[in-house]
Structure 1
Amino acid sequence: MSKLVLNHITKSFGNQKILYDVTFTVKEGEFISILGPSGSGKSTLFNLIGGILLPDKGSIQFDGKEITGKRGFISYMPQTPALMPWRNILDNVLLGQEIARKHDHKKAYEMLEKAGLKGYEKHFPYELSGGMKQRVSFIRSLLSPQSLICLDEPFSALDEFTRFEMQKWLLSIWQEYKRTILFITHNIDEALYLSDRIIVLSNKPATVQKEFIVPFLRPRKEEILHSTDFLQWKKQIYDEIKKHSVNKH
């Protein structure tokens, strides 16, 4: 059964059409990446899925229910960690549960330990590095009651080494908890390394140009990044994005 279904979504702001006839599905437990040129409407898509915006046309279903324009069905992790500076790390990761009036301190401590953050529970965000803050933000998403997590370029501000370490950590946590993830990125390597499928959007007005089923077995090994197969897939996806990156008139 599909977890999330987008049916013919179209969205404009004023006279500028951002999304046109976007249709795709996300299945239970899948890790899906959305790739596309900068400014192609990827973040707008998340705002629509989260119920912050309404589409001009089309509908969104989640677990078989109509959720178009409704909030509270997804957990969202933005590009910056967006931690509450006045709350310690434990209180930050429990925020989603607090809103849902659930408190699982045991699981929070367990996940912080798995994230290498044991001993930091009572620290404040300003005391953590960028990568540590991102881990806290992701744990908050995992502890929230929603089963679909939308990640909007969560590692884009990190240096290359920290970014790869975070990718490996994200995969290990995802393998264990098997949440459904929709992941926005500009980075083809990142999409290939993390995903089950990759959805390629065109430039504005964005539409789904192609879907790629990633062939690499799980658990993913670091060595695949340097394999001939990986480089060939990267070129194929790059060519697809380039082909559709010219503005439409």
Structure 2
Amino acid sequence: MSKLEINHLSISFGSQKILDDITFTAEEGEFISILGPSGSGKSTLFNLIGGILIPDEGSILLDGKEITGKRGSISYMPQSHALMPWRTILDNVLLGQEIAGKRDEKKALEMLGKAGLKGYEKHYPHELSGGMKQRVSFIRSLLSPQSLICLDEPFSALDEFTRFEMQNWLLSVWQQYKRTILFITHNIDEALYLSDRILVLSNKPASVQKEFIVPFKRPRTEEMLYSAEFLKWKQDIYREIKQYSL
């Protein structure tokens, strides 16, 4: 189970209000993308969900239990892969499990194999490409015991072709394991291609201005990206975001 409830979250840094009355729900197994202007507070929202920050107002519930200000309730993947250079690939993906007091090497090896990383288990991060490092980081998130995964622009540093390859890989893994995912991105195409729903935040102080329920069936295909319907949805979301970016 991994239903997330965000209730009226607000936070200020000094005299500047960053988030204002943020409210939404993420259902079990749902993939939600969060879009908004740069600096609107998307990463701050993730820091609140992860318990790194404490809100001035509001609460965060996971499966009905309050996790406001509590760390260790979610799995978090930042923009950079954040792999430990002195640990092997296998030891990196098992880090979350080790912190939780268990180590399932069999499952880790199985998932590395499915990610095209068989034979790299004893390699170190500097020996892998950018896309491979991101796969390792995501597998670490999946192997962690937490059922909710927050992904903060995980593919932003990748080239276009590698990014699309990683999007497809992410979808295939998510459809198999069905974790609840919150995904921050600035890329509208990416949000539409991956998500069940898209939440658009305003500029600071950020609030949820609009929700888009993505109509495209799964599995998603590359042809979808060039369809007239996809373009229309992209334009609608772009117009929504643009009015808060001026």
TM-score under structure 2 length normalisation: 0.99
Residue 222 (structure 1) shift? 1.1
Contact 2:2–2:180 at 8 Å: present in 1 too? no
Contact 2:9–2:23 at 8 Å: present in 1 too? yes
Contact 2:2–2:147 at 8 Å: present in 1 too? no
Corresponding position: 1:16 with 2:16: yes
RMSD: 0.9
Partner of 2:221: 221
1:32-88 Cα offsets, whole Å, 9 max, x none, are 000000000000000000000000111111110011101111000000000000000
Contact 2:89–2:121 at 8 Å: present in 1 too? yes
Partner of 1:82: 82
Distance in 1, Cα, partners of 2:70 & 2:92: 24
Distance in 2, Cα, partners of 1:4 & 1:180: 9
Residue 245 (structure 1) shift? 2.3
Distance in 2, Cα, partners of 1:177 & 1:57: 33
Give the secondary-structure state (helix, strand or coil) at the position aligned to 1:151: strand
Contact 2:201–2:210 at 8 Å: present in 1 too? yes
Residue 134 (structure 1) shift? 0.2
Partner of 2:43: 43
Residue 2 (structure 1) shift? 7.1
Partner of 1:26: 26
Partner of 1:198: 198
Contact 2:2–2:29 at 8 Å: present in 1 too? no
Partner of 1:163: 163
Residue 243 (structure 1) shift? 1.6
Distance in 1, Cα, partners of 2:83 & 2:94: 11
1:78-131 Cα offsets, whole Å, 9 max, x none, are 000000000000000000000011111111001000100000000000000000
Give the secondary-structure state (helix, strand or coil) at the position aligned to 2:61: strand
Give the secondary-structure state (helix, strand or coil) at the position aligned to 1:102: coil
Residue 154 (structure 1) shift? 0.2
Corresponding position: 1:242 with 2:245: no
Give the secondary-structure state (helix, strand or coil) at the position aligned to 1:111: helix
Partner of 1:153: 153
Contact 1:37–1:203 at 8 Å: present in 2 too? yes
Contact 1:2–1:25 at 8 Å: present in 2 too? no
Distance in 2, Cα, partners of 1:111 & 1:223: 28
Distance in 2, Cα, partners of 1:4 & 1:178: 14
Contact 1:28–1:180 at 8 Å: present in 2 too? yes
Distance in 1, Cα, partners of 2:97 & 2:76: 14
1:152-188 Cα offsets, whole Å, 9 max, x none, are 0000001111111000100010011111100000000
Give the secondary-structure state (helix, strand or coil) at the position aligned to 1:61: strand
Distance in 2, Cα, partners of 1:112 & 1:131: 13
Amino acid at match of 2:231: L
What is the percent sequence identity of the aligned residues? 83
Point out where structure 1 has 5 or more consecutive residues left out of the alignment.
none
Residue 244 (structure 1) shift? 2.2
Contact 2:74–2:147 at 8 Å: present in 1 too? yes
Contact 1:40–1:204 at 8 Å: present in 2 too? yes
1:123-142 Cα offsets, whole Å, 9 max, x none, are 00000000000000000000
Contact 1:189–1:234 at 8 Å: present in 2 too? yes
